[in-house]
Amino acid sequence: MTLRTDFETLKLAEVRPNVLLLTLNRPEVRNALNTKMGEELREIFVPLKFTPGSLRAIVITGAGDKAFCAGGDLKERHGMTDESWRLQHAIFEEAYYAVMDSSVPVIAAINGAAYAGGAELALACDFIYAARNARFALTEVSIGIMPGGGGTQNLPRAVGERRAKELILSAQPWTAEEAYAWGMVNKLCDPEVLLNDTLDAAERIAGNAPISVRQAKKSIHYGMQTDLATGLIFEVQAYDRMISTEDRREGIRAFNEKRKPNFQGR
């Protein structure tokens, strides 16, 4: 697929081969989510469920050094009618679900505060690298709403039901170190190397057979939603998809010829 680059709230750049760096680009408001950002995220991610094109990995981060994303833009939301609120939230839901459904692996690089919808966006990604000074919070119940971008589902799957209840119901923030200890964050990085470390991880993923990566991601994600026996059936069906691919043949040839494989995604 061909992505346009003239977005209002996002910056896009292919900074490594087949790796897209997506930067939430509203640093003047700590990259808060407004309607336009939701629309632009939706535009990018909805097609990626079925038409990833040449993309093999995506990194999401925030502009500046203060915040990944401070959550929903409450100034924009001030005075919204109930109907306007519902319509805006539907955009956010569609965008976040599309991130979760992306066939291309998505890694969050959390460079600062990830609060409310920002924490939910991070949790919607496949895994998270975070700066040591990053902080997280799901603060929605403190302003009369609740997490609605997957937070009540993704957080307990990452840290356990009891921990998630404590964090969501108290609306209290937690540190990157705590997130790492609980299994929500995969790696802690010094702020100055966070983005490079995350891009290195994305590049390693992008160097593998793209159909294999997509099928393995799908098998893990959907298998975790069901019982073990059903998950194993799904895994075998996902595996069978690769037997007839040129990439499977190329991988075996490259191994025997002691060279790096040249995967084409077919």
Among the options 83, 93, 120, 166, which is catalytic?
Answer: 120
187 and 221 fall within a common domain? no
**Residue 67: inside a domain:** yes
CATH of the domain at 182: 3.90.226.10
Give me the number of domains the chain comprises.
2
pTM of the entire structure? 0.94
Q: Minimal CA–CA distance to 40: which of 17, 21, 12?
A: 12
Q: Give the pLDDT band (50/70/90) at residue 5.
A: confident
Same domain? 218 vs 199: no
pLDDT at residue 2, as a whole number: 67
Render pLDDT for 179-227 as a digit per residue (tens, 0 to 9).
Answer: 999 999 999 999 999 999 999 999 999 999 999 999 999 999 999 999 9
Residue 98 confidence (pLDDT) above 60: yes
Report pLDDT for 1: 56
What pLDDT is stored for residue 4 in this prediction? Answer: 79
140 tagged catalytic? yes
Say yes or no: 252 and 178 in one domain. Answer: no
Are residues 222 and 200 part of one domain? Answer: no
Residues 147 and 179 in one domain: yes
User: Over the chain, what is the mean pLDDT?
Assistant: 95
pLDDT at 120 over 60: yes
Which of the following is catalytic: 140, 166, 203, 246?
140
Residue 68 to residue 16: CA distance in whole angstroms: 21
Q: Which structural domain, as residue segments, surrounds residue 158?
A: 10-206
